[in-house]
Amino acid sequence: MTDAGLDVPSAWRSAADRILDAGWRTTLIIGETDAGKSTLCRYLCRRILEARAAVAVVDADIGQKDIGPPATVTLGFPDGSRPLAETPPDGFYFVGSTNPIRGMVPLVIGVARLARAAERPFVLVDTPGAVRGPGQTLQGWLIETVRPDIILAIESGRELAPILDAHRHLRILPLPRSPEAKRKSTAFRAQARARSFARYFAAAKEARFDPARLVLQRAPRPDIGGPDAAFAPNRLCGVADRDGACLGLAILQLADPDRRSLTLLTPVPPGQIAVLQFGDLRIDRDGRELREDGVSKRA
């Protein structure tokens, strides 16, 4: 892959050797934020492809995405021709939030669905960095859902102990942090999400819909205004086909006062859209997250 040249610990090389030698199909990667999970995922992809095997990546790190836009779980099939971050998503599941705790239920469902759809000899699942408090519950559900052949646990101390102790009957391999891992600021993360959203919507077009002909799902949480807030301009939405398969994202541009029509900005062909799922986020065309009053959030 073009991600070659990564500076990786020797323990990571040994882990890749063991996965390849044993033929363990599903690998779950856990670790707190900025521990180097994405770097490990890129390294494992490279090693698997060098071994002339096919690999799938389920990217569940909804706030710091490598594959596809934030607020989604995505499935990608790296082929070695480009960096992992440039791998196009082959499957989506809309979470609607970049906070893995708020989006816990759709996140776990999305991982389950896309991991099942990943028909490759090797599947890597990159998880969110929430590992403390409610994050322990989230990671536990992901482990039970994925049922991995091996868990690669990146930690610097014992921060993952509650999660690992609860699943010590499984195959677990502790690993050190990447020497390339660096703590990122809140501003850096917000800017990275905005760039990712902007790339996704770069080729989007406006399309007008009759709400009566769409199935409307997932009204926003009550704390952001309830059902009426769903139709506020700039609402981030997921769009799905008649079978409920997520096709991608849309931004609600306009809903008339009587809600007899609404306009979406989306790269998804309008004729394929049958379901609209409301998310908790509002973003502008440049991918910047907005407050509920329409003002850009401060990073």
Give me the CATH number covering residue 95. 3.40.50.300
Same domain? 88 vs 171: yes
**Residues 43 and 117 reside in one and the same domain:** yes
SS (H, E, C) the chain: CCCCCCCCCHHHHHHHHHHHHHCCCEEEEEECCCCCHHHHHHHHHHHHHHCCCCEEEEECCCCCCCCCCCCEEEEECCCCCCCHHHCCEEEEEECCCCCCCCCHHHHHHHHHHHHHHCCCCEEEEECCCCCCCHHHHHHHHHHHHHCCCEEEEECCCCCCHHHHHCCCCCCEEEECCCCCCCCCCHHHHHHHHHHHHHHHHCCCEEEEECHHHCEEECCCCHHHCCHHHHHCCCEEEEEECCCCCEEEEEEEEEECCCCCCEEEEECCCHHHCCEEEEEEEEECCCCCEECCCCCECCC
pLDDT digits (tens, 9 = 90+) for 225-272: 555 677 889 999 999 999 999 999 999 998 776 668 899 999 999 999
pTM: 0.92
Residues 62 and 210 in one domain: no
CATH number of the domain that 246 lies in? 2.40.30.330
Whether 61 shows a pLDDT value over 60: the answer reads yes
Domain boundary among 109, 144, 175: 175
pLDDT at 211: 86
- Same domain for 220 and 161: no
Does residue 299 fall inside a structural domain?
no
142 in the same domain as 210: no
Higher confidence at residue 166 or residue 3? 166
Q: Which domain holds residue 260?
A: 186-282
Is there a single domain that holds both residue 213 and residue 277?
yes
Average pLDDT (5-34) is 93
Domain assignment present for residue 86? The answer is: yes
State yes or no: pLDDT of 105 exceeds 90: yes
